[in-house]
Amino acid sequence: MNNSPIPLVDLKAQYAALHADIDAAIARVIANTSFIMGPEVRAFEEAFAVFCQAHYAVGVSSGTAAIELTLRALGIGPGDEVITTPFTFIATAEAISAAGATPVFADIDPATYNLHPVAVEAAITPRTRALLPVHLYGQPADMPALTAIAQGYGLALIEDAAQAHGAEIAGRRVGSLGHAACFSFYPGKNLGAYGDGGAVTTDDEALAGRLRKLRDHGRVSKYVHDEIGYGHRLDALQAAILAAKLPHLNAANAARRRLAERYCDLLAETDLILPFVPDGVAPVWHLFVVRTPRRDDLLARLREQGIEAGIHYPLPLHLQPAYTSLGLGPGSFPVTEAAARQVLSLPLFPEMTDEQQERVAAALIEGM
């Protein structure tokens, strides 16, 4: 029996498949010594905007920077509230705090783990300036309902698309569904750099221009800066690597989709709660997450067999020590808190073999 470890994500397998293109991109940047901004960054931005069905993409240094810069560029800061989910990676809220604004949490939909529009509307106050839904695990949030709320209350709608490059609702890609969308190219993401990276997409030309200025020290010419900005540019080396990987992203997302469907077949007879996908939604399966009250036992069993599963996320943001200042105790967001106790992310990456997937399913079935 094959007992070799199965990782949650296998970046070595991805490099093995694409190494010729990636090596050539790295060699080109080094030969040109054009490390900061320049043609590599521009070319990637143009290609990524097209991929997202958006007019503009602005490369930045991380997904966290993408959110902070977008809020700053929209003039959102101290005294303002931004509504988001407590069931996400901390960067979503951290970027709101870094911009000087206050994160206000709303509970999630238990079926999709994404923000519940009814909870969002209930959280609106006179200080609310923006909604910041996360497309968690690669599945778009309920953007039609959130768009209606944002329009009704005159709020900005910013997508946290860090986990959802290429996901769609009714044929429209994330990155084109709000005023702006923030992407991360952290190495394990569906489109990952070889270090940190991020981007903002938007159809708003003025917003794109403001973002380009803010990411580069508020610069208007070489040594003239008309506002205090940031050193949050996307590295040319990362842009070249991302541009080499982008043409393969649709195929990689299709491979994830096939594996997700296969997991659903293999696990159909178990009592695990499988992912729910609403009509018209095409997720990109950044993570394949099942739910069970026996999560901790199953996680231990998988680990014993060398299978790396994960929990995204075990501690909701309102219960993080960093956010005690918000004064939100246990019980504030019961749907999120229950999900945090029960979700389990199974290994899924485009290069995963059928045999690896069968081993994961067999380990879960044995453990039922």
* CA atoms of 70 and 156, how far apart (whole Å): 10
**In angstroms, what is the minimal distance from the CB of 264 to ligand PLP?**
23
- From candidates 134, 298, 302, 348, binder to ligand PLP by CB under 6 A: 134
Task: Pick the closest to residue 58 from 233, 249, 241 (CA basis).
Answer: 233
Which of 177-211 are b and which e, b meaning 16 or more Cβ less than 10 Å from the residue's Cβ?
bbbbbbbbbbeebbbbbbebbbbbbbbbeebbebb
* Count of other CB atoms within 10 angstroms of residue 277: 16
Tokens of residue 350, six digits: 């485009």
* CA atoms of 196 and 242, how far apart (whole Å): 11
**CB of 322 within 8 A of CB of 230?**
no
The secondary structure of 72-104, three-state, reads HHCCCCCCCEEEECCCCCCHHHHHHHHCCCEEE
**In angstroms, what is the minimal distance from the CB of 167 to ligand PLP?**
13
* CA atoms of 14 and 256, how far apart (whole Å): 13
Tokens of residue 284, six digits: 């990109």
- From candidates 29, 44, 60, 62, binder to ligand PLP by CB under 6 A: 62
**In angstroms, what is the minimal distance from the CB of 222 to ligand PLP?**
28
The footprint of ligand PLP on residues 165-184 (CB under 6 A) is 184
* CA atoms of 326 and 316, how far apart (whole Å): 13
162 scored as a contact of ligand PLP (CB under 6 A)? yes
Instruction: Specify the stretch interacting with ligand PLP by CB under 6 A; choose among 160-168, 199-207, 221-229, 315-323.
Output: 160-168
**Closer by beta carbon to ligand PLP, 112 or else 356:** 112
70 scored as a contact of ligand PLP (CB under 6 A)? no
**In angstroms, what is the minimal distance from the CB of 139 to ligand PLP?**
12
The footprint of ligand PLP on residues 188-227 (CB under 6 A) is 196, 198
**Closer by beta carbon to ligand PLP, 14 or else 184:** 184
Instruction: Specify the stretch interacting with ligand PLP by CB under 6 A; choose among 86-94, 227-235, 268-276, 359-367.
Output: 86-94
Q: Is the peptide bond before 313 cis (omega within 30 degrees of 0)?
A: yes
**Closer by beta carbon to ligand PLP, 298 or else 323:** 323
59 scored as a contact of ligand PLP (CB under 6 A)? no
- From candidates 41, 49, 58, 63, binder to ligand PLP by CB under 6 A: 63
**Closer by beta carbon to ligand PLP, 134 or else 298:** 134
91 scored as a contact of ligand PLP (CB under 6 A)? yes
**In angstroms, what is the minimal distance from the CB of 1 to ligand PLP?**
35
Phi and psi dihedrals of 200, rounded to 5? -120, 135
Tokens of residue 217, six digits: 């020290």
* CA atoms of 336 and 339, how far apart (whole Å): 5
Binding site for ligand PLP (CB under 6 A): 62-64, 88-89, 91-92, 134, 160, 162-163, 184, 186, 196, 198
